[in-house]
Amino acid sequence: MDRKKIFEEIIGVTKVVAPAVVTQQVYSKMFNHHFLTFKPFYFEQSDFPNLTSKRYTFYSCNKHRLVGYIYSDNSVQKRGIFVFCHGYGGGGHHCYLDLINVLCTMGFYVFAYDATANDESEGTTIKGFTQGFLDADKALSFVESLDEYKKLPLYLMGHSWGAYSSSVALEYHKRVKGLVAFSGFNSATTIFKANGERFAGEKANDFMLYVDTYERFLFGKICESNALHSFANSKAKIVIVHSEDDTTVPIEAGFTMYKKQFGKDKRFKFIKLLEHGHGTVYYTLEGKHYYDKVHHEYDKFVKKNKPDEEAKVTYLKEHIDREKYNHMVDTKLIKKCIDFITK
């Protein structure tokens, strides 16, 4: 799902439609789906020969059964365990198996789960971004309950929606020693305001009050939880990574706010990149360019040929260099983040 296009289309309607109606339309279009990973574009466990996994289930606050896996590389000594929170719109955690594999090769177990209404987890709607934080909280509690991992240091990592989710959940789990947040945003409604201003200027303010009200209607007061408050109430070490050219989650929606408040705090490390985009923020520039090339050529193929699903899969199998595609992660960047939160 193209998040930019959604905001461009929906926010423009504020000129002719009542803001309350627009808000409901935005939420319906963005959240009332069960999101599935288009697997030919992403990764399988078999892409990484040393990667092993064990499947678990736990329950959301809505009693939906959520599915997660503990991944590991049994050839390396273990240093701790990460809980990994995925982003919005592309399906569940399998989109991030390349990053998860890197963490495992560096000596960590990784518990990665599918949030409500994503891939293997139950649910027909995410409802709103607050649900991500609620799921992250349950995922952390579940991992903390596993006797096998209780003696290991516990860490958090998330990207985009997952960075927001993990950041807000942090203050409720004092055992967590460190967090790495890629391209995150401060609160469930901050991201609407940031994108609204970018695409519609002052028109965004016409419906922001209704967004706040609607999010509270769906989730109650807990929707007001935000990363700034969570960071202030945690002793964990925190790394914030964002690219200046991110047009999906503008850098002002998180990084800039966090640095203003915590820029001089030694618990924090801020890494601002210049041209790494959003979904490719943890890739090398070479990796990002290859990712962009593959997706651009695929989009041209689909637009020109209007292929069925089988033809799409065949095209991707023939046109993706899997050795290159599976190893786009910037291991030096990941090591820098891990070195900071583990010292």
Asked if 88 and 79 touch (Cβ cutoff 8 Å), the reply is no
The letter for the amino acid at 206 is D
pLDDT along the chain (343 residues), means of 10: 52 56 83 93 94 98 97 96 96 97 98 98 96 98 97 98 98 98 96 72 69 92 97 98 96 97 98 97 98 97 95 95 97 98 96
Task: Quote the pLDDT of residue 254.
Answer: 97
Mutual angle of helices 285-305 and 309-319, in 10-degree steps: 140
Report residue 20: phi and psi, to 5°.
-65, -40
What is the structure's pLDDT at 211? 86
Give the up-direction half-sphere exposure of residue 287: CA atoms within 13 A in the CB hemisphere.
21
Q: Is 218 exposed, middle or buried (0-12, 13-18, 19+ CB in 10 A)?
A: middle
Burial class (CB in 10 A: 0-12, 13-18, 19+), 198: middle
What's the confidence (pLDDT) of residue 203?
62
Tell me, what's the pLDDT at 192? 84
List beta partners, residue 110. 71, 82
What pTM was estimated for this model as a whole? 0.93
Position 16 scores a pLDDT of 46
| Residue 201 confidence (pLDDT) | 60
Question: What pLDDT, on a 0 to 100 scale, did the predictor assign at position 200?
Answer: 54
d(CA 329, CA 307): 30
